[in-house]
Amino acid sequence: MILYDYVLSASCYKVRLMAALLGKALTLHAVNFHPGREHKSAEMLALNPQGTLPVLTDGDTVLTDSADILRHLTVDQPEWHTEEDERWLAFASDLNNSLGLARLHDVIGYEAVIDTARAAGVMALRKLEAHLTEQRFDGLIFLTGKAPTIADIACFPNTALAPDGGVSLDPYPSIRLWMRAIRSLPGFIEMPGIHRLHELAHPA
Amino acid sequence: MNAAIDNHWYPVAMISGIDAPRETLLLGKKITLGCEEGTCWVKDASGNALPTVERFGHLWTSPGQPNRDLFTIPEADSPGRRLVDVGSVKVKCSPLRAVENFLDIAHFPFVHTDILGAEPHTEVDRYDVKIREEVDEVWATKVKFFQPQAAKSAEGGITTEYMYRVPAPTCSVLYKTCPPRPGEWDVITLFVQPLTDEWCEVWPWMALYDDDSTMSEMVSFQQLIFMQDRSILENQLPRKLPLDPGMEVPTQADMTSVAYRRWLKKIGYTYGAQLVAA
pLDDT tens string, chain A, 204 residues long: the values are 999 999 999 999 999 999 999 999 999 999 999 999 999 999 999 999 999 999 999 999 999 999 999 999 999 999 999 999 999 999 999 999 999 999 999 999 999 999 999 999 999 999 999 999 999 999 999 999 999 999 999 999 999 999 999 999 999 999 999 999 999 999 999 999 998 887 665 655
Q: Select from A34, A38, A41, A43 the residue whose CB has the most chain B CBs within 10 Å, as the one to mutate to test that interface.
A: A34
Same domain for B61 and B83, yes or no, is no
Beta strands across the sheet bearing B49-50: B22-26, B29-36, B39-44, B49-50
Instruction: Give the predicted TM-score (pTM) of the model.
Output: 0.91
Same domain for B100 and B31, yes or no, is no
Same domain for B161 and B178, yes or no, is yes
Coarse DSSP helix, strand, coil percentages of chain A, rounded to the nearest 5 percent: 50, 10, 40
Same domain for B57 and B185, yes or no, is no
Do residues B111 and B229 lie in contact, with contact meaning Cβ atoms separated by under 8 Å? yes
Q: Would the CB atoms of A164 and B230 count as touching at under 8 Å?
A: yes
- H helices within chain B, ranges in order? 3-6, 95-103, 108-111, 215-233, 255-267
Q: Distance between CA A99 and CA A114 in Å, rounded? A: 10
Residue-number span of the structural domain to which B4 is assigned: 1-70
Beta strands across the sheet bearing A55-58: A27-30, A2-5, A55-58, A61-63
Q: Would the CB atoms of B92 and A166 count as touching at under 8 Å?
A: yes
ipTM exceeding cut-off 0.90 for this assembly: no
The answer, for B224 touching chain A at a CB cutoff of 8 Å, is yes
Same domain for B24 and B86, yes or no, is no
Q: What is the CATH number of the domain that holds B33?
A: 2.20.25.680
Same domain for B141 and B212, yes or no, is yes
Q: Would the CB atoms of A192 and B228 count as touching at under 8 Å?
A: yes
Please list, residue by residue across B10-47, b when 16 or more beta carbons sit within 10 angstroms of its beta carbon and e when fewer do: bbbbbeebbeeeeeebbbeeebebbbeeeebebbeeee
The answer, for B217 touching chain A at a CB cutoff of 8 Å, is yes
Question: Searching chain A, which residue's CA lies closest to the CA of residue B235?
Answer: A163
Same domain for B135 and B208, yes or no, is yes
Distance (Å) from the C-alpha of residue B224 to the closest C-alpha of chain A? 6
CA–centroid distance for B185 within its chain: 17
Q: Is B235 helix (H, G, I), strand (E, B) or coil?
A: coil
Do residues A54 and A4 lie in contact, with contact meaning Cβ atoms separated by under 8 Å? yes
H/E stretch holding A146 reads none
Q: Distance between CA A155 and CA A152 in Å, rounded? A: 5
Same domain for B57 and B94, yes or no, is no
Question: Searching chain A, which residue's CA lies closest to the CA of residue B91?
Answer: A107
Which tens digits make up the pLDDT trace of B1-26? Answer: 799 999 999 999 999 999 999 999 99
Angle between helices A114-137 and A173-183 (to 10 degrees): 80
Domains of chain A plus CATH, in order, are 2-78 (3.40.30.10), 79-183 (1.20.1050.10)
Total domain count, chain B: 2
Do residues B13 and B59 lie in contact, with contact meaning Cβ atoms separated by under 8 Å? yes
Do residues B169 and B199 lie in contact, with contact meaning Cβ atoms separated by under 8 Å? no
- Chain B (145-184) residues lying within 8 Å, Cβ to Cβ, of chain A: none
Q: Which residues of chain B are within 8 Å of residue A108 when distances are taken between CB atoms? A: 87-90
Q: Distance between CA B262 and CA B243 in Å, rounded? A: 7
The answer, for B236 touching chain A at a CB cutoff of 8 Å, is no
